[in-house]
Structure 1
Amino acid sequence: MSKGDFELYRYKPEIGASILFTVLFALAAVVFVFLLIHYSVKSRRTVASLVRSQPTLRYYGIVNLAGAYIPFIFGSFVEFLGFAFRCKSSRDTTLLNPYIIQTVFLLVSPTLYAASIYMIFGRMASLLFAENLMIMPARFNTTIFVIGDVGSLLLQAAGGAMMSKISSASSGSHLVTAGLFIQIAFFGVFIINEFLFIFKMTKKPTTISVRSSSWKSLNIALLVDSFLILIRSIVRAVEFIQGYDGQIASHEWFLYIFDALPMFLLVLSFTVAFPFNNIFTIQEESVQAQKSARFDKDAYTKVDMASVEEDIVFKE
């Protein structure tokens, strides 16, 4: 393809769909921020009253607990900005900067969602005293997945920016593909981890988990969201393998059906389910169970307490 023949899009972008998803992601992000603030404050008061008379219980500080949702919020705003710049790019398909921004932002936003999923899962396992049910040591479990996620994000971001130039388009596509395969690999392992966690916890529950009614539904929600990201990443990987003239890259509806829609369903599920099913609820149930259950602490010495994430409060 010569420089004169180069086109940023292989189709005429549909501005109506871009506007729709711009509005949807913006609304969902704003609503979720309000929900997070409300339940963070509410949970802080509840947990503070529970641990006041017994400060040796295991629990997270509210900032560390709420922090698990921060990448999710950033991801939602990145999606919003991605589609906002896509609107601008759709109005004038010759503008390079809006095209680069929307390409990069829509590529990397799922990695931010993935980071929140990893962090929420790790906190949930620790609050249930179930770190020994993970594939990897609890001390490194979340860190390893997040590192893989960051690596995937950087490769996709760099590759997406490079694809706007003819001279580096091929190299950029290879970088994006590599980033997507890293994401797929880590998510594949993580999904196995989630399945094994449910199976092992059901077969041999902890004293805390049997007194928590929310962990299963939260884990299933995280599992469904993981599959949404995995499916999206597989389709995007196929897109870049096919190349610029491939079936997926040449038809805009693939972007909306296999990227925008799954990611909005993920955001919607987080937002709608949050009042009923969140990590704050798990923590409250865990603290209440620790206070009421006469569990034998020796049973938990099998869990390497040094491997518990550093931002957990736990004292003998």
Structure 2
Amino acid sequence: MGDYDFYSYNSNKGAAVAFVVLFALLSFALIAAVIVYSRRSKAVCDVWDSSSRGNYEQVRKYPIGKLVGAYIPLLVGGLVELAGYIGRAASAWNQDKMGPYIVQTVLLLIAPTLYAATIYMLFGRLAHLLFAEKIMIMPARWNTLIFVLGDVASLLMQAAGGGMMAGEDSRKAGSDIVTVGLFVQIAFFGLFIINEFIFYFKVYKIESDIPRRTNTWRALNLTLLVNSFLILIRSIVRAIEFIEGYSGYIEGHEWFLYVFDALQMFLLLVSFLITMPLNNIFKIQEESVVAQLHLANTRAGVVVKEEDSDDIFDDGNELKPEV
């Protein structure tokens, strides 16, 4: 590579190592949390399946595997982020080596697109469980797919551009491709955030009574909204970085990467982890099923006791008496 410099500063070794540790702890903690709450929810669903009482077979619900699937991009993204900062640390010790530079450039660019996929998928499942697809901006049938495809397009452009940036001759072209990818991500996230706001304020106007009988969805929607803003801000700053180019102010100051990328994505994972016990998609499905059964019993003329009105199931394990 001759005298070509990958960085316009001396990369901070301590900061890179610190985020290796932080993302390692967060990633494995999130994997454990998803396993724990999915297993708990599966146990509840197994009881419901075996009981075969009420209208359980007709209620709207997802297989547990499909709910777990919504979290997979988030978990993979955390591991990608971890690998990216391992590459960043290796690159800090070998700033003239192409390999570590390419690894950290590409992986740190694409990790947030994986987080975005989880946000889109969780929102789609949330709307379905609340019978609220009608207030989606996109057609309900294609809403999640359209956002995920936009996310994949952004990921591919950022990955391709990031790889090209290792070459002195192709750095400008690679930077331009990354910039386009980031703007695709910004556009889709802007539209998605608008969709989330519309959803939050219009959900009580739909015909279904399910949203009024559940509580957890509000907290999850807020978590998704906050994390959408974190990714949006990160993407805007990084887009400005690539527009400015190698000689720009952001490219010349490493702290921008840690404040507007590493820290933002760290907070995103932290928010998912600390809110998991309160607003995971498994709990939302359980609340939706209970609300659907209550409404079905009411329509069928079954008397539901007042004290049982908010929870047809006792501790999530046994069916309460229907009469």
Match of 2:40 among 33, 39, 42: 42
Return the letter of the residue paired with 2:82: F
Contact between 1:85 and 1:102, CA under 8 Å: does it hold in 2? yes
Contact between 1:155 and 1:175, CA under 8 Å: does it hold in 2? yes
Contact between 1:88 and 1:98, CA under 8 Å: does it hold in 2? yes
CA distance in 2, matches of 1:50, 1:240: 53
Return the letter of the residue paired with 1:19: V
- Residue deviations 1:240-283, cap 9 Å, x none? 00000100001000000000000000000001110111100100
CA distance in 2, matches of 1:47, 1:130: 23
- Pairwise CA RMSD: 1.4
Residue 124 of structure 1 corresponds to 126
Residue 141 of structure 2 corresponds to 139
CA distance in 2, matches of 1:30, 1:140: 32
SS at match of 2:58: coil
Residue 15 of structure 2 corresponds to 17
Return the letter of the residue paired with 2:30: F
Return the letter of the residue paired with 2:47: S
SS at match of 1:105: helix
Residue 307 of structure 1 corresponds to none
- Unaligned stretches of 5+ in structure 1? 298-316
Structure 1 residue 213: deviation in Å? 0.8
Contact between 1:31 and 1:271, CA under 8 Å: does it hold in 2? yes
CA distance in 1, matches of 2:30, 2:187: 29
Count of residue pairs brought into register by the alignment: 295
- Residue deviations 1:151-190, cap 9 Å, x none? 0000000000000001111110010000000000000000
Match of 2:99 among 97, 100, 114: 97
- Residue deviations 1:175-226, cap 9 Å, x none? 0000000000000000000000001014447311111111111101100000
Structure 1 residue 48: deviation in Å? 2.8
CA distance in 1, matches of 2:24, 2:284: 28
TM-score norm. by structure 1 comes to 0.91
CA distance in 2, matches of 1:10, 1:177: 19
Return the letter of the residue paired with 1:274: M
Residue 33 of structure 1 corresponds to 31
Residue 300 of structure 1 corresponds to none
CA distance in 2, matches of 1:81, 1:73: 13
**1:47-66 maps to which residues of 2 (within 5 A)?**
47-51=45-49, 52-53=52-53, 54-66=56-68
Return the letter of the residue paired with 2:5: E
Residue 237 of structure 2 corresponds to 235
Contact between 1:50 and 1:287, CA under 8 Å: does it hold in 2? no
- Unaligned stretches of 5+ in structure 2? 301-323
SS at match of 2:9: coil
SS at match of 1:276: helix
Contact between 1:71 and 1:115, CA under 8 Å: does it hold in 2? yes
Match of 1:262 among 261, 264, 268: 264
Relative to 1, partners in 2 of residues 1:205 and 1:28: Cα closer, same or farther, differing over 3 Å? farther
Return the letter of the residue paired with 2:264: P
Larger radius of gyration: 2
Residue 185 of structure 2 corresponds to 183
SS at match of 1:59: coil
Structure 1 residue 296: deviation in Å? 6.8
Aligned: 1:81 with 2:79: no
- Residue deviations 1:112-143, cap 9 Å, x none? 00000000000000000101011111110000
SS at match of 2:278: coil
CA distance in 2, matches of 1:157, 1:12: 24
Match of 1:283 among 282, 285, 309: 285
Structure 1 residue 5: deviation in Å? 4.4
Structure 1 residue 288: deviation in Å? 0.4
Contact between 1:44 and 1:62, CA under 8 Å: does it hold in 2? yes
Task: State the structure with bigger RCO (CA 8 A, min sep 6), 1 or 2.
Answer: 1
